[in-house]
Structure 1
Amino acid sequence: MSVAPPPGADLRTWLDHLQRTDRLAVARPGAALRHGVAAVANRLDGTAATLFPAPDGHPVPVLAGVLGARSWVAEALGVGDDALLERFERATREPVPCTEIDTAPCQDVVHREVDLTRQLPVPTHNEHDHGPYITAGLLVTRRPGTRVQNVAIHRLQVSGPDRLGALLLPRHTLEFFDDAEARGEDLPVAVVIGNDPITLLASQAIVPVDHDELEIAGALRGSPLPVTRCVTNDVRVPAGAEFVVEGRLLAGTREPEGPFGEFPQYYGPRAERHVIAVDAVTHRHEPIFHTIVGGGGEHLLLGAVPREASFLSHLRRSFPSVRDLHLSRGGTCRYHLAVQIDKGSEGEARNVILGALAVHYDVKHVVVVDTDVDVHDPAEVEWAVATRFQADRDLVVIPGAQGSKLDPSTDSGVGAKMGLDATVPLAAEPMRFTRIHVPGEEQIDPSTAVSAASPNWQKDLIRAPAGDGPTPSSADE
C-alpha cells in the first residue's frame, strides 16, 4: 500500500497547506525588490510565509518564510516535534537514491540567452548588501571524474546579466572546485531555486564528503527524489524545482563579492571571491522565486535542525549519556550549543564539551546540563548556568581554535572556544540541588480553574456571601 508523501515533499502543496492553516500571507502587489520584500518578510517572520505578487512589476512572484518556525519543520516532514531530530538523523544514515526522469517541470522553459536581472526577481535584503542576492538557491556540484554530487546553499551575488559572485567557505563545494581548478578546469554547477521544504532541509545535512544530500531528501520524503539532467552540463537537479540556473565555477577567476547580511546579524565583508558564469536559465511555467532573508528566522532555522540531528548522532556514538541538544536562536543557531546528558561519572561533562566543540568548527560555546533542564528553553539553560556553574571549577577554554569566518569577533575565523559544565556534582547532598515543585501543578487546566466570566473583584470577592469565607471581626470594622 502506498503511503502519502509528507506535506513538505512539494513546494506548491506546502503552500496550499500553509494557506489552509492561515499561515500564508499575500502581500500587496508591487513590493519593492530593494528592501521592500525583506521588510515585510521580517515583520511576518515566524508567523506566516509571504507571497509577493508582481514585485517591482516583475511577472514572477517572490516567496519568503517557507519554514518560519521549528514546529513547521516537523510538520513538513510529517512527524511530531519530539521525533524531528531522530527522523532527520535516520535519513542521513539511510539515504534513498534518486530516480532520473527525462522530462521535468523545471525545464518547461529554457533560456539560453541569459539576463539574470530580467529573468529573475532577485531581491536586495539588508541595508548595506552590495545588491541583489540569490539566497535560497541550492548549489549542486559534481566531483570531477565521478558521479558523486554535493548540495549546499551559498550566497550568490548577481554581478551581471550572466555572472554570479559566490562565497565558498571551506566545505565540500570548495573541495570539489579545488579538484577541478588544480586541473585547470571549470566546475559545472547548477543553482536550484524554489525547492520543496524537505529538499531545502536535506541540503543542510552535516555529512561526510561524497554523500549526496538529494538522497537524504529522498529518505525524508519516503520515496526517491525525481531528478533530471541539466540542459548544458551533467549535473542532476530536482525535477520539480521552480528555477535552475546552470553555469560553471570559473578556474583561476576571482572578483569582488559582498558585503552581505549574514546569519550572525552582521555583514560578511567585500573580498575577492569565486565566480559563476551562467550558461542557461530554465524554469517551470508560471514559476515562483524563493528568497531567504539574510539573517532572518528562516535563514537561522534551516541551519539549526539539520545540524542538531547530525551533532546528536555524532555525540551519541562517543557519549551514550547524551539525551538531547539544541542550537539556540540567540547563538545564531550555529555558535551556541546546549547538550543534555544523563551524567554517570564526574568529568563526563567535560568530555562531552570537548566532543561537541570538535563536531563542527562553527560551534563556539557549549553548555552541558542535566536531564531535568530543557535544552530548548533558553531560560532553563541560563538557570542551570546561574545555579550549577562555577567559573573557577567548571569552565573550559580552548584558545586559538578554528571557528566561523563570519564571526566578527574572531581573527579571520580563529578564536577561543568555551565550555560550561552546568551539571550537578554527583556527590552533592540530595536536597542541595532539588528543584522546587508544586504537587499537582501539571494536572491543572487553567481554562477550568478560573471563572468563565471575570467577576467584579470588589463586589463579588471582597464582600463574599455569608458562609463562603471568614466574617470580619468588630475590630476589623
Structure 2
Amino acid sequence: MADSSPSPAIGTGALSLRQWLDRLSARGDLAIARDGLKLRHEIAAVAKKLDGKQATFFPDPDGAHAIPVVSGIVSDRGWMAEALGVEQDGLLAHFQHAARHPIACEEVPQAQAPAQEVVHTEVDLLRQLPIPTHNEHDSGAYITAGLLISRSPESGIQNVAIHRCQISGKNRIGVLLLPRHTDHYYRMAEKQGKPLQMAIAIGVDPATLLSSQAIVPVDYDELEIAGALHGKPLQVVKCTTNEVRVPADAEIVIEGRLLADEREEEGPFGEFPQYYGERARRHVIEVDAITHRHGALFHTIVGGGLEHLLLGAIPREATILNTLQGSFPGVKDVHLALGGVGRYHLYVKLDKRQNGEGKNVILGAFAAHYDIKHVVVVDTDVDIHDPQEVEWAVSTRFQADRDLVVIAHSQGSKLDPSTEDGVGAKMGLDATIPVDAPEMKYKRIRIPGEDALDLDALLTTARDWRQAGQRAA
C-alpha cells in the first residue's frame, strides 16, 4: 500500500502535539488555567466556554495529578489545516491524497520510544491519569480523545478509531463499539474464545488524531494515513504487554484486552449530536499496563464541541467528495455543516451541466455515508462554508414541489434521537439554477470595483460627522 507520491496540497509539514501547543501558545491561542481545576465538570466547562476561540491547558488537575490536561487543540478548521502544514482550502485534497497513498509505519525499539519512558504494571486508572467527567449526566469519567488501536487476529493488520471509554474500575473500561472495524476484529477474536489485543493512545499529534477518523475499508491501517499526512513514516512501537503497535511519541498509552463474552453497563454519555447516548450493556476492556512519557499530557475532547465535530467532519468530507466526484465530475466541493453536528447536513457545490443532475447528486450523497440526513446542492457562485449563503440559495433557487427529494425509512445515525433505532427519513434540496434559465433571471447583483476597494485609502479617522460635513461644504 505504501506510496511516496507528493500530495497536491503539500505544505510545510505536520507538527507534533508539543510543537502545535508551542505554536498556539506563541500567538495567544492557548489559555492557561489556574492550578487545581476540578476534573468533574469544571475542566470541561472552561474548555467548552473557550471552544473555537482558544485551546486550554490545565495544570495540576484536581490538585492531585502531575499530568496536565489539554483540550480544544484543533477546535477550528483553520487550525487543523495549519497543524497539518497546508492551506485551509487544500485540507480536503491533502487528506484525500493521504488516504489514497498511505506510507507504511517505521517500528522503533522500545528503548527509543518516548511513549514508554514510564511503565506502570500495577494499574489504577483514576489515580494515575487525570480523566475528566464532562457533562451533567455522564455516568462517570471518560477517555474521549484516545485512539483505540486493535489488531486483526487473522492478518495482524491494525485498525484505529476513537470510541467513548468509561472508567468502570481500577483496571476496567466500558467501551461503545459500533458495528464497524474494531467490532469486526472483536467478533473474529470472540469466535476463537480469545480477547482482542488493543491499546488506547492518548495525546497524539493533530495529523494522527485526524487520520483515526478516515473512512476506509477494513484491514486498512489508519496509522499509515497518518504517515502520509506527515509526509514520512510514522514511528510506532510494540506495546509492552501485547503485539499492538502504537505511535512511539504518544503522550500516554493504555494497554489491554477487549474481553470475550463479557458485557457491563456503560453510559449515559454526552455525544456529538449534543444529546446523551443511552445506557446499555457494552464491551469491556481489561487494562494490563499504562505507559507514558516523562512530563506527559492528557488530551480530552468535550463531547459535542467543535473539536469533536471537526474531527469527524473533515475526513468524512474528503471521503464523500471523492465518492461524488467519481460519478459527478461537476462536484467541486462539499461541506458538512457544524449546524448539522458535522455529520447530518451536507452542502454540495456543483458545476451543473444538465437539468436533473442536482437530484442525482443528492442520491449519490445519501449513498456515500449513511449518517447524511439532509443535502443541499448549490451552484458554484455560492460559498458552502457560509450557512447564510446556502440559505439564500435555498430561498431564491428552490421550489419544494419541483426540487425536493424525500426518502422514507432509510438507515441513518443511531445517535440521532429523532430516528427509530437509526431508521428515519432523508431530505435533499436542489437549490441550483435551471440550465435553460434566462441569463438575467438568476444573475446576482454586484457593484463594480467593490472587491478591489482599499478602504484604508478611502476612509478617514475622523469621528465627528458635523465637522466632516462642514469641511466638505
| TM-score normalized with structure 2 length | 0.96
Aligned partner of 1:299: which letter? H
Give how far 1:394 is off: 0.8
Paired residue for 1:458, among 455, 461, 466? 466
2:33 aligned partner: 27
Aligned equivalents of 1:27, 1:7: Cα separation in 2:
30
Give how far 1:9 is off: 3.2
Question: How many pairs were matched up?
Answer: 462
Computing the radius of gyration from Cα coordinates, the structure with the larger value is 1
Aligned equivalents of 2:93, 2:164: Cα separation in 1:
29
1:400-441 Cα offsets, whole Å, 9 max, x none, are 111111100000111111111010111111111111111110
- 1:277 matched to 2:278? The reply is no
Aligned partner of 2:307: which letter? E
- 1:11 matched to 2:17? The reply is yes
Aligned partner of 1:454: which letter? A
1:152-231 pair list within 5 angstroms: 152-231=161-240
2:88 aligned partner: 81
Give how far 1:445 is off: 2.2
Residues 1:130 and 1:435: Cα distance change in structure 2 (over 3 Å): same
Aligned equivalents of 1:445, 1:406: Cα separation in 2:
49
Paired residue for 1:46, among 52, 56, 61? 52
Aligned equivalents of 1:173, 1:435: Cα separation in 2:
49
Contact 1:7–1:75, Cα closer than 8 Å, also in 2: no
- 1:140 matched to 2:146? The reply is no
1:341 aligned partner: 350
Residues 1:211 and 1:177: Cα distance change in structure 2 (over 3 Å): same
1:375-417 Cα offsets, whole Å, 9 max, x none, are 1111111111111111111111111111111100000111111
Give how far 1:465 is off: 4.7
Aligned partner of 1:93: which letter? R
Residues 1:261 and 1:431: Cα distance change in structure 2 (over 3 Å): same
Contact 2:371–2:413, Cα closer than 8 Å, also in 1: yes
SS of the equivalent of 1:170 reads coil
Aligned equivalents of 2:456, 2:342: Cα separation in 1:
35
SS of the equivalent of 1:246 reads strand
Paired residue for 1:386, among 395, 414, 417? 395
Residues 1:277 and 1:71: Cα distance change in structure 2 (over 3 Å): same
- 1:323 matched to 2:323? The reply is no
2:62 aligned partner: 56
Give how far 1:279 is off: 0.8
Give how far 1:347 is off: 1.2
Contact 1:7–1:13, Cα closer than 8 Å, also in 2: no
Contact 2:462–2:468, Cα closer than 8 Å, also in 1: no
Contact 1:6–1:221, Cα closer than 8 Å, also in 2: no
SS of the equivalent of 1:298 reads helix
Give how far 1:459 is off: 2.8
Aligned equivalents of 2:404, 2:91: Cα separation in 1:
31
Aligned partner of 1:445: which letter? D
Contact 1:204–1:302, Cα closer than 8 Å, also in 2: yes
1:99-138 pair list within 5 angstroms: 99-102=106-109, 103=111, 104-138=113-147
1:288-299 pair list within 5 angstroms: 288-299=297-308
Contact 2:408–2:425, Cα closer than 8 Å, also in 1: yes
1:344-363 pair list within 5 angstroms: 344-363=353-372
- 1:370 matched to 2:415? The reply is no
SS of the equivalent of 1:299 reads helix
1:473 aligned partner: none
Residues 1:409 and 1:435: Cα distance change in structure 2 (over 3 Å): same
2:3 aligned partner: none
Residues 1:363 and 1:83: Cα distance change in structure 2 (over 3 Å): same
SS of the equivalent of 1:330 reads helix
Contact 1:31–1:56, Cα closer than 8 Å, also in 2: yes
Aligned equivalents of 1:177, 1:252: Cα separation in 2:
10
SS of the equivalent of 1:285 reads coil
Contact 1:116–1:162, Cα closer than 8 Å, also in 2: yes
SS of the equivalent of 1:91 reads helix
Contact 1:6–1:76, Cα closer than 8 Å, also in 2: no
SS of the equivalent of 1:301 reads helix
Aligned equivalents of 1:93, 1:131: Cα separation in 2:
39
SS of the equivalent of 2:340 reads coil
Give how far 1:7 is off: 6.0
Structure 1 vs Structure 2 CA RMSD:
1.4
Aligned equivalents of 1:359, 1:307: Cα separation in 2:
9
1:422-433 pair list within 5 angstroms: 422-433=431-442
SS of the equivalent of 2:199 reads strand
Give how far 1:268 is off: 0.5
Give how far 1:162 is off: 0.5
Contact 2:125–2:171, Cα closer than 8 Å, also in 1: yes
Contact 1:5–1:221, Cα closer than 8 Å, also in 2: no
| TM-score normalized with structure 1 length | 0.95
Give how far 1:17 is off: 1.1
Contact 1:7–1:17, Cα closer than 8 Å, also in 2: no
1:98 aligned partner: 105
Aligned partner of 1:131: which letter? G
Aligned equivalents of 1:404, 1:118: Cα separation in 2:
35
Contact 1:7–1:14, Cα closer than 8 Å, also in 2: no
List runs of 5+ in structure 2 lacking aligned partners: 1-5
